[in-house]
């Protein structure tokens, strides 16, 4: 429970940080707005022509009598649109981070310098094109995992009672984990932490991750809210990444030292060092 509250506090700290740095917040809105327009256009197109697509994809139902043909194709159209909405929530962060990679890298560095005792921040020695490639490759790997979870949960959603209660709650928790993974990757990739080690860090502190990512996943259901929260989410994820790695903050204490439970979890997971290598 303590880590759940700590995760949520990092989300709030990130929003407060960008509120104090208005210029960073303003630039941070642009990638989210671009992504929102692209996703909105795709969903509108699906709403307009989804039924036609389902009809084209199910020629075997052309000879079905009424009302079975309409019910069958109507259900498939609704399922297709609902799945598209789920995928848009899961992939929104990854696409926004990819579009806004240069800005979010800069924002994350500024957060690190602001809270670091010596005012420095880890910097990547890789060229921009290489960072973009690594980010896109890792995001694709994570999205494949997220897609598998999404399809599984979507199928379980048809189970009476369970599908309308427990499954949506689990869906928000799972989505929150993947959102946190994408957001912390900005700071962790700059520290040369590989995807496998990033996932190990997050799994060792699941409660912290859920406290940060689950409220964010719920808020991301409202498109414009997602756009406005993205800069602060990146800032908060950078602060949380420092705790996951046990880095010092400006008060001279190890960030991870605030949670003895988290350190115990890392030790039990066999985490070999602060950078997971």
In a domain, 112, yes or no: yes
**Rounded CA gap, 156 and 53, in Å?**
24
In a domain, 227, yes or no: yes
Position 271 pLDDT exceeds 60: no
Position 43 pLDDT exceeds 50: yes
Handedness of CA 238, 244, 247, 252 (dihedral sign): positive
pLDDT of residue 260: 38
- When pLDDT is averaged across residues 118-131 and rounded to a whole number, the result is 75
User: By the 8 A CB rule, do 180 and 202 touch?
Assistant: yes
Instruction: Note down the domain range covering 124.
Output: 2-268
**Which has more confidence, 229 or 79?**
229
Is 0.85 topped by the overall pTM? Answer: no
Position 73 pLDDT exceeds 90: no
12-29 tens-digit pLDDT: 999 999 999 887 787 778
Strand, coil or helix: what is 165?
coil
In a domain, 96, yes or no: yes
Q: Please count the structural domains in the chain.
A: 1
In a domain, 277, yes or no: no
């Amino acid at each position: 429970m303590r880590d759940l509250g700590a995760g949520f506090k990092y989300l709030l700290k990130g929003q407060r940080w960008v509120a104090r740095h208005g210029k960073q917040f303003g630039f941070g809105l642009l990638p989210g707005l671009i992504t929102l327009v692209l996703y909105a256009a795709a969903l509108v197109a699906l709403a307009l022509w989804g039924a036609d697509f389902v009809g084209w994809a199910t020629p075997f139902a052309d000879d079905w009598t009424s009302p079975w043909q309409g019910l069958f194709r109507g259900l498939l159209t609704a399922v297709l649109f609902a799945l598209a909405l789920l995928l848009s929530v899961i992939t929104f962060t990854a696409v926004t981070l990819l579009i806004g990679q240069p800005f979010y890298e800069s924002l994350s560095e500024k957060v690190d310098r602001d809270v670091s005792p010596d005012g420095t921040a880890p910097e990547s020695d890789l060229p921009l094109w290489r960072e973009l490639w690594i980010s896109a490759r890792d995001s694709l790997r994570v999205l494949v995992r997220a897609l598998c979870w999404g399809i599984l949960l979507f199928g379980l959603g048809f189970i009476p009672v369970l599908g309308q209660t427990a499954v949506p709650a689990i869906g928000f928790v799972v989505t929150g984990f993947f959102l946190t993974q994408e957001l912390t990757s900005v700071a962790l990739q700059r520290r040369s932490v590989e995807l496998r080690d990033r996932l190990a860090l997050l799994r060792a502190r699941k409660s912290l991750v859920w406290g940060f990512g689950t409220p964010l996943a719920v808020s991301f259901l409202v498109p414009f809210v997602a756009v406005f929260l993205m800069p602060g989410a990146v800032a908060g994820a950078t602060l949380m990444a420092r705790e996951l790695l046990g880095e010092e903050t400006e008060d001279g204490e190890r960030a991870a030292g605030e949670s003895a439970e988290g350190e115990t979890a890392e030790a039990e997971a066999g985490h070999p060092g602060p950078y997971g290598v």
